[in-house]
Amino acid sequence: MKTVSRATLGTCLLMIALLSGCASLPKTDLNAENREKLHSIAVLQVKEPEKEGVVNTGGAAAAFGLIGALTQAAVNNSHTNTYSKRVADEKIVFAPLIVDGVVDRLNADGYQVVKLGDDQKVKVSSDGKSDDYSGIHTDADGILSMWFTSFGYLSPPESAEFMPAVVLRARVLDAKTKQDMYFKTFACGYDIKANSVHIESDATYRYGTFGTLEDKFDESVQGIKACEQAIVAMIGKDLARVQ
């Protein structure tokens, strides 16, 4: 299967494009052979989302053609900036919940786990079409790479409510050969389909308007974190040493 870069997937999975999405994303389970030889895992840092999107893909965009779409895009941008500013002002971070949660599960399962520093990063290959892990150096058997491709709240055309839309990709590579051992996309809340693993979000975290979402800001943050915890649980289950 041709490897797809996170830059390409990031473009494909932008919240406004979730309705069309990619036709099919890579999906590789950890097979028995790889599970047997995987005893230690080096975990790369997860980049904090640059913004927390609040996007309505219905609204004026669905009712008034191009003009409506442009109007709705401006509204989405305003709501996203407002919500993201509050996250930043309150110094809320989301990435550590993923990294620490997965590391704790792997440790509890008997893996030898090391968290790699910020100096070890994945690069985009020279052709711009795949991710280059050649610069990652570790004595561990595998490298776990995780990254967000969509993050925040989405109101799709078929719903009048904003719901969590947290999409995270998790990939384990053989540290020596850099070949995939495991590769999945998890989507909590809004279902992007596209060969991803969908996780239902708690109905508590659904909001009829941006005003309600803003009024219940603390609760809405917990909705995002609940999705993260659900994704962590799925990754831990997938990578469990005994199935």
Q: Locate the domains of the chain by residue range.
A: 6-239
- Predicted pLDDT at 160: 83
- Of the ranges 80-89, 101-110, 118-127, which one carries the lowest mean pLDDT score? 118-127
Give the integer Cα–Cα distance in Å for 158 and 155.
8
User: 197: how many CB neighbours lie within 10 A of its CB?
Assistant: 15
Task: Pick the more confident residue, 123 or 24.
Answer: 123
Average pLDDT over residues 164-168: 96
Joined together, the tokens standing for residue 80 give 């996203």
- Tokens 């040493």 correspond to 241
Query: pLDDT per residue over 202-223, tens digit each?
Result: 999 999 999 999 999 999 999 9
Q: How far is CA 99 from CA 106, 114, 147, 168, in A?
A: 11, 11, 10, 12
Which of 191, 195, 193 has the alpha carbon at shortest distance from 227?
191
pLDDT greater than 80 at residue 195: yes
Q: In the chain, pLDDT over 70 holds for what percent of residues?
A: 84
Count of CB atoms situated within 10 Å of the CB of 19:
14
> For 53-67, what is each residue's pLDDT tens digit?
999 887 544 554 545
Q: Are 99 and 43 in contact (CB under 8 A)?
A: yes
What are the pLDDT digits (tens) for 114-151? Answer: 999 988 989 888 888 789 898 899 999 999 999 999 99
What is the per-residue pLDDT for 10? 41
Distance between CA atoms of residues 32 and 6, nearest Å: 27
Residue 243 has pLDDT above 80, yes or no: no
State the pLDDT at residue 22. 54
Report the sign of the C-alpha dihedral through residues 237, 238, 242, 243, in that order: positive
For CA atoms 76, 78, 83, 88, give the dihedral sign: positive
pLDDT for the residue numbered 69: 57
Minimum mean pLDDT range among 16-25, 47-56, 80-89, 190-199: 16-25
So what's the pLDDT on residue 8?
40
